[in-house]
Chains A and B, each alone.
Chain A
Amino acid sequence: MSLWKDFSKGLWKDIPPFRLVLGLCPTLAVTTAADNGLAMGLATTFVLTCSNALVSLLRKIIPRKVRIASYVLIIASFVVMVELLMKAYFYPFYMILGIFIPLIVVNCIILARAEAFASKKPILNSIADGLGIGIGFTISLTVLGAIREILGAGTLFSQITLFGPDFAPFTFFVKPPGAFVCLALLLGVMNIISKGGVKG
């Protein structure tokens, strides 16, 4: 139950979307470039951490029968907050992520952590859990986005062009089918590395 353990498990053992196979929809949709994945990951981390904190704070007050409704209410409020903040200070990313920002509300990771962890554990642990899983998710999205971007467009973080003008980008990778393939390959690699299976 140590704080460090609650935080670090999100970085490998329970990393979404590879070990905690949740939140696949935004993963596939926004990882067309490394910076898009990074922006989405950070927005999700903000919502996840805040909602874990608030759910944990109110865990003794929320009646069991309306707990899901309450969690969604709390998650939605932080999503609105992050959307307003992005519109005000990070408009280019707001334009790129578009409809996937409000869709953070239905990102299974956040609801799952609220139900499975934050509703049962103290605030500090819940915050650690949220931060760990959020940062793990951000790393996954950024790496996946980088791979898809490098192979599919030849750039990185939409800024650096990596290859010369003769490079023929493998555009398959920046399209949806390429997303699935790339995700599967990364998942396979992770499985080999950890010599384990997918967390049930």
Chain B
Amino acid sequence: MGDIIKMIIVLTTTATIIGTVLSFMERTLREPIEYSTLKFVKGPAVLSVLANCDNDPLKDLKDVNLIEKSGLSVVKRIFPAKRNGKIFAVAFEVLAKGYGGVMTIMIGINFRTGQLTGMRVMTHSETPGLGARGTEPLFYEQFSGLGTKDTALKEKGGEIGAISGATITSQSVVESVKKALELLTQNKEKIIGSFRAT
């Protein structure tokens, strides 16, 4: 009996101390991690979907309160692209439910034309050769220049050819991008307003 108590006490104490130390470490490192992720994962994606701007979208980022169709408000991190101090396009992150888990996607939207400037898959847990092919230009380049109406799979009347063998992933990505496009277009004035305040 004493044996079992000793085992329980040692394991529980060790686990508790370890858990506390690790959560403290995670809290302390949260900022450097966010910065690194921004620099190496999101940064390149943001810069590749926003072209021809004369500012640094990463430095000018802002968290803006957007209102969804349902009326709920959601905070989104927006990366602005400006020309001559005026915003003409924004990039922000979209989540899609992939086959193997959550996919993070960066899209760019041109406010003047209401069209997508680009789409990049940043992180995913998809199957190599199937869903993972979402990261290939053959797939993501299809999104450039599309408006809300055309952002759908070809089978559903849109302009996008699905990834062969990965229809679920393709459909999910397209839907999430379309919803994001709608959300952005709806909140266009709000976003431009938030950035004008600076």
Contacts and interface: CB of A to CB of B under 8 A. Distances in A.
Contacts of A58: 14
Contacts of B36: 87-89, 91
Given A73-B14, A73-B15, A74-B14, A84 B26 contact: yes
Given A84-B26, A87-B36, A91-B36, A65 B3 contact: yes
A192 interface: no
A95 B32 CA distance: 15
Contacts of A185: none
A63 B39 contact: no
B101 to A, nearest CB: 13
A134 to B, nearest CB: 21
Given A84-B33, A89-B32, A63 B40 contact: no
A88 B22 contact: no
Contact of B40 (A61, A84, A92): A92
A21 interface: no
Contacts of B40: 91-92, 95
A168 interface: no
A70 B22 contact: no
Given A81-B25, A87-B36, A89-B32, A65 B18 contact: no
Interface in B1-50: 3, 6-7, 10-11, 14-15, 18, 21-22, 25-26, 29, 32-33, 36-37, 39-41
B140 to A, nearest CB: 19
Contacts of B6: 63
A25 interface: no
B37 A81 contact: no
A81 B21 CA distance: 9
A94 to B, nearest CB: 8
A8 interface: no
Contact of A70 (B11, B26, B39): B11
A181 B182 CA distance: 54
Interface string B102-126: 0000000000000000000000000
A94 B127 CA distance: 20
A85 B29 contact: yes
A63 B29 CA distance: 34
B10 A70 contact: yes
B22 A81 contact: yes
B70 to A, nearest CB: 35
Contact of A87 (B7, B14, B22, B33): B33
Given A66-B11, A73-B14, A88 B3 contact: no
A74 B50 CA distance: 45
Name the residue in A62, A84, A89 with the highest tally of chain B Cβ atoms < 10 Å from its Cβ.
A84
B32 to A, nearest CB: 4
Contacts of B7: 63, 65-66
Interface of A: 58, 61-63, 65-66, 69-70, 73-74, 77, 80-81, 84-85, 87-89, 91-92, 95
- Kindly list the 5 A-B residue pairs having the minimum CB-CB distance in the complex, ordered from nearest: A88-B32, A91-B36, A77-B18, A91-B40, A88-B29
Given A81-B25, A91-B37, A92-B40, 7 more contacts: A58-B14, A63-B6, A73-B15, A84-B33, A88-B36, A91-B39, A95-B41
10 contacts: A58-B14, A63-B6, A65-B7, A66-B10, A77-B22, A84-B25, A87-B33, A87-B36, A87-B37, A91-B40
